[in-house]
Amino acid sequence: MNDSDSIPPADGSGPPRVLGVIPARWASTRFPGKALHPIAGKPLVRHVWDRCLGCARIDFLTVATDDDRIAAAVRAFGGHATMTRPDHPSGTDRAAEVAAAHPEFSHIVNIQGDEPLIEPALVDSLAEAMLADPALAMVTAALPLDGEDPDLDDPNVVKVVLDRAGCALYFSRSRIPYPRNPLPGFVNYRHKGVYGYRRDFLFDFVSWPPSPLESIECLEQLRALENGAKIRVVLTDDVSPGVDTPEQAAILESILSK
């Protein structure tokens, strides 16, 4: 990965290049200041940054934030921070603002700022899928769930069902499909919230208004499906936990301290 301290000049030329964006905001509803919450001696956002430094397919990495405290902390540990507008409704919109300023990047990977143990290989697999298929507009990830796993009925765990080509048919907070007639060997999938976008599609996506299913489920990826887009799903065994609450941060602190 490019570890220089500035994004290269935007000349619009050259081979396909991948921009990694870690959106990070202060005003988390359930956990204000989450990005800078210390875990095992480092702020949460640094754990994400350090993991992404191991990515081989990301050409440049930046933390996109609207908060001076987060930007200052990122720069203090040697990371790159990009200041963005404060009115973005989502991290995807924040990533699009960064991408708009830098046309030299053909693809963008949106890496959640609360995934401190994310596998670099997973991020690379999304980048590789996009670079291998110029027609691919959007890609995300999922991991298998056992049919008896209680997460299948947890609305905080997003599920996805796939078509035979490995693209998403639907995402839901509910159990999908409903097992009225269970099939032996059927695999359920848990969605993992990391996304890759082809540059032009990212700008289309953020220009569309929130869709009905997106609003009902509070899942922005449904906007793409409702507008007829295909989302390729990369399968992974990365079970690394996210951090949404102080309680989850405490659990992670215990894991990393060992």
Confidence at residue 100, expressed as pLDDT on a 0 to 100 scale: 96
> Is the pLDDT reported for residue 3 higher than 50?
no
For the chain, the domain total comes to 1
pLDDT at 11 > cutoff 70: no
Does residue 64 surpass a pLDDT of 60? Answer: yes
Instruction: Please work out, in degrees rounded to the nearest 5, the angle formed at the alpha carbon of residue 85 by the alpha carbons of 81 and 90.
Output: 90
Rounded mean pLDDT, 81-102 = 94
Asked whether residue 157 is domain-assigned, the answer is yes
Please report which residue ranges of the chain form alpha helices under DSSP H. Answer: 44-52, 68-76, 91-100, 120-132, 199-207, 212-217, 221-226, 246-257
More confident site: 143 or 255: 143
- Is the bond into 177 cis (omega within 30 degrees of 0)? yes
Q: Is 152 within the bounds of a domain? A: yes
Task: Supply the range of the domain harboring residue 45.
Answer: 18-257
**Does residue 192 register a pLDDT over 50?**
yes
Read off the pLDDT band of 13 (50, 70, 90): low
Domain membership of residue 38 (yes or no) is: yes
Separation between Cα atoms, residue 34 and residue 18, nearest integer Å: 27
Query: Would you place residue 58 in the very low, low, confident or very high pLDDT band (cuts 50, 70, 90)?
Result: very high
**4 located within any domain:** no
CATH of the domain at 192: 3.90.550.10
Q: For position 124, what pLDDT does the model report?
A: 98
| 8: in domain | no
β-pairing verdict for 159-162 and 168-172 = antiparallel
- pLDDT of residue 25 exceeding 70, the answer is yes
Q: Does 56 fall in a domain?
A: yes
Rounded to 10°, the helix 44-52/68-76 angle is 50
**Does 3 map to a domain?**
no
User: Which pLDDT score, from 0 to 100, does residue 10 have?
Assistant: 44
User: What's the chain's average pLDDT?
Assistant: 92
pLDDT of 28: 74
Among 96-110, 180-194, 235-249, name the one with the lowest average pLDDT. 235-249
% of residues, the chain, pLDDT over 90? 76
Q: Would 220 be classed as within a structural domain? A: yes
